[in-house]
């Protein structure tokens, strides 16, 4: 895949980039190693000063970088601005909280004496240069939610971004440079996917984090396992959105539209499978379908646009294939399907709602990465749980109910990294984020995320 900015609203290639030569990759790896030796001992106050400066610069750049993101991957401009603002928030949160999150831990004194020590503590130390293999769908946020905690912990970052967002990738390197980070603390590597294995095997690279597809995760995890290096993986998702009889059906249907089409439907944590109790199925489905049908599809630079193009022609075609397979096997199209009229250029797909989907259809098992929703009817809580868990993924989940016993059961039984009750899934710097099953392992954000790339060092002292 070429490293290029291709406008998904028009299909036009706007700018191409040559991948880094091996000698330049080597220079950057050496710089990362040198930077880590210095940065790891930098006081928290200095790390926080640098990160706050980066946040201030990003806030100033918000409109410009939002337009870059929209041009490169097609998200509506308002959503791009919101993504930049979210990054600013996360940077400031980690600048404010990292020292507290990584403070030494002191075990119970009686237990310490039982070990033969006079004192003992757990001290958190950074691992080293971390390779981040990042996706195009949230090209700023996915990187910042790794970089902010990693840099505050004393690690340094090497970014291998998706090949279709090179200008955003280069902006990030420049952002941290302008903030005053020493050379090598955060570097963008414009390389193809074939170069990842060699970089990850380099002894100067201590660990890796990847957000992306399941095949990409398997590849990185396999190499890292062979090298015995730590990894964090955030892969696909096919999140359930369960609506029970006691729910506020109108509100659930309204939020469901946003939950499905956020980021043009290209989000791992977007709700994709809408599992609705028979008692409220008709009311919910009617309102949800009407909301999806009313969305404005068009130029993502237009402030009135709700849903822009998919990021790539291949992505649009794969989504269409899933819908066509389901319809051919008997699924019902309640709204949408196919390309919108008047948008012949670009990689658009109409917001779509399907019902009567059965387990034999591909769309029942595969992730729909675009504005397509599947609505299921269930007759009980047990049936809802079974259907929600009938997926290889387990990233997050959404539950709508006002019954506390329902909540208890869903929290206990849903196989997911998160359960969001009466609201849509969202990430926040203070809350751990990640999945189970084929959605990956490890956690980003919160104290859990900042400790992922730290050595929890036991300090035992007898006298």
- Residue 131 pairs in a beta bridge with 158, 208
Say how far apart CA 59 and CA 151 lie, in whole Å.
Answer: 19
Any catalytic annotation for residue 335?
no
Contact present, 301 and 77 (Cβ < 8 Å): yes
The label of the residue with tokens 């040559």 reads: 18
What is the DSSP code string of 97-123?
A: HHHHHTSPB---HHHHHHTT-SEEEEE
Say how far apart CA 307 and CA 292 lie, in whole Å.
Answer: 10
On the CB side of 15, CA atoms within 13 Å amount to 9
- The Cα-based distances of 330 to 153, 190, 272, 360, 377 in angstroms read 53, 45, 19, 10, 16
Say how far apart CA 409 and CA 242 lie, in whole Å.
Answer: 13
- Residue 240 has phi, psi (to 5 degrees) of -80, 150
Given the residues 268, 335, 367, 452, the one annotated as active site: 268
Say how far apart CA 278 and CA 42 lie, in whole Å.
Answer: 59
Contact present, 140 and 83 (Cβ < 8 Å): yes
Residue 116: how many CB atoms within 10 A of its CB?
Answer: 9
Say how far apart CA 37 and CA 29 lie, in whole Å.
Answer: 13
Any catalytic annotation for residue 268?
yes
Say how far apart CA 41 and CA 53 lie, in whole Å.
Answer: 19
Given the residues 234, 366, 367, 444, the one annotated as active site: 234
Contact present, 444 and 452 (Cβ < 8 Å): yes
Name the nearest CA neighbour of 390 among 433, 429, 360, 432: 360
Contact present, 138 and 168 (Cβ < 8 Å): no
Catalytic residues: 234, 268
């Amino acid at each position: 895949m070429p490293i290029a900015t291709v406008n998904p609203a028009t299909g036009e290639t706007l700018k191409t980039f040559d991948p880094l030569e091996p000698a330049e990759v080597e220079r950057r790896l050496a710089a990362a190693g040198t930077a880590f030796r210095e940065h790891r001992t930098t006081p928290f106050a200095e790390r926080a000063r640098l990160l706050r400066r980066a946040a201030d610069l990003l806030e100033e750049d918000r409109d410009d970088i939002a337009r870059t993101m929209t041009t490169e991957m097609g998200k509506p401009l308002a959503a791009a601005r919101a993504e930049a603002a979210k990054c600013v928030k996360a940077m400031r949160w980690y600048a404010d909280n990292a020292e507290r999150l990584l403070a030494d831990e002191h075990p119970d004194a009686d237990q310490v004496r039982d070990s033969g020590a006079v004192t003992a503590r757990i001290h958190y130390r950074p691992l080293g240069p971390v390779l981040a293999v990042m996706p195009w769908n949230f090209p700023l946020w996915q990187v910042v939610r790794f970089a902010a905690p990693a840099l505050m912990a004393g690690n340094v970052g090497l970014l291998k971004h998706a090949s279709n967002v090179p200008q955003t990738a280069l902006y990030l390197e420049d952002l941290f440079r302008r903030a005053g980070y020493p050379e090598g603390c955060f570097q963008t590597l414009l390389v193809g996917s074939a170069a990842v294995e060699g970089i990850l095997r380099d002894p100067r690279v201590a660990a890796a984090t990847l957000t992306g597809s399941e095949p990409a995760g398997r590849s990185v995890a396999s190499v890292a396992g062979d090298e015995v290096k730590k990894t964090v993986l955030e892969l696909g998702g096919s999140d359930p959105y369960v609506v029970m009889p006691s729910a506020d059906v109108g509100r659930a249907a309204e939020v469901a539209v946003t939950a499905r089409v956020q980021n043009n439907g290209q989000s791992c944590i977007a709700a994709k499978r809408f599992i609705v109790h028979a008692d409220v199925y008709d009311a919910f489905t009617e309102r949800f379908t009407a909301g999806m049908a009313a969305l404005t599809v068009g130029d993502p630079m237009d402030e009135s646009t709700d849903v822009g193009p998919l990021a790539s022609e291949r992505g649009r075609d794969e989504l269409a294939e899933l819908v066509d397979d389901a319809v051919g096997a008997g699924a019902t199209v309640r709204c949408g399907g196919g390309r919108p009229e008047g948008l012949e250029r670009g990689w658009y797909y109409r917001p779509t709602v399907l019902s009567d989907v059965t387990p034999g259809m591909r769309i029942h098992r595969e992730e729909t990465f675009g504005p397509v929703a599947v609505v299921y009817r269930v007759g009980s809580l047990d049936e809802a749980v079974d259907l929600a868990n009938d997926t290889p993924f387990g990233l997050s989940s959404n539950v709508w109910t006002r019954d506390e016993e329902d909540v208890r059961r869903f929290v206990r039984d849903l196989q997911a990294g998160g359960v969001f009750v009466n609201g849509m899934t969202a990430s926040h710097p203070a809350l751990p984020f990640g999945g189970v099953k084929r959605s990956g392992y490890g956690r980003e954000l919160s104290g859990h995320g900042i400790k992922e790339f730290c050595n929890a060092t036991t300090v035992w002292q007898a006298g």
